[in-house]
Amino acid sequence: MLATEEDWLTEDDLYDLNFAFVYAAGSMHLDFNYETFDLTVATQYETLEQEASEQPQFDTPSEEEAEAADAEQQRKEALSERD
C-alpha cells in the first residue's frame, strides 16, 4: 500500500511490483494468503483511480483551435525566416 503514495507510480509499475511480490513469496516458500493479497490489490487500484480522478482535467483544443494554433505557428516561423 505504501507504493500507492508515490507520485511516479503507474498501473504498470503497480502490476510489476505485485508480480514481483508474489514471485518472491513463492520462491521463498512463504505462507501466502491470496484473499488478503486480492483485497490489497483491489485497494491499491482503487487508490490509484481515486488519485487520478482528483487530478485537474485539461481541456483539449477543438480541431478549429488546433488548426488556428498551427496556422499562427507557421506564420511566426515564416516571419522569423524572413528576418
pLDDT digits (tens, 9 = 90+) for 6-35: 888 888 999 999 999 999 999 999 998 999
Q: Which residues contact 13 (CB under 8 A, 6 or more apart)?
A: 3
Residues 6+ apart with CB under 8 A from 37: 18, 22
The pLDDT of residue 10 is 86
> In this predicted model, what pLDDT tens digit does every residue of 18-77 receive, in sequence order?
999 999 999 999 998 999 999 999 999 898 888 777 766 666 778 888 888 888 888 888
15, three cell numbers = 502490476
Residue 24 grid coordinates: 518472491
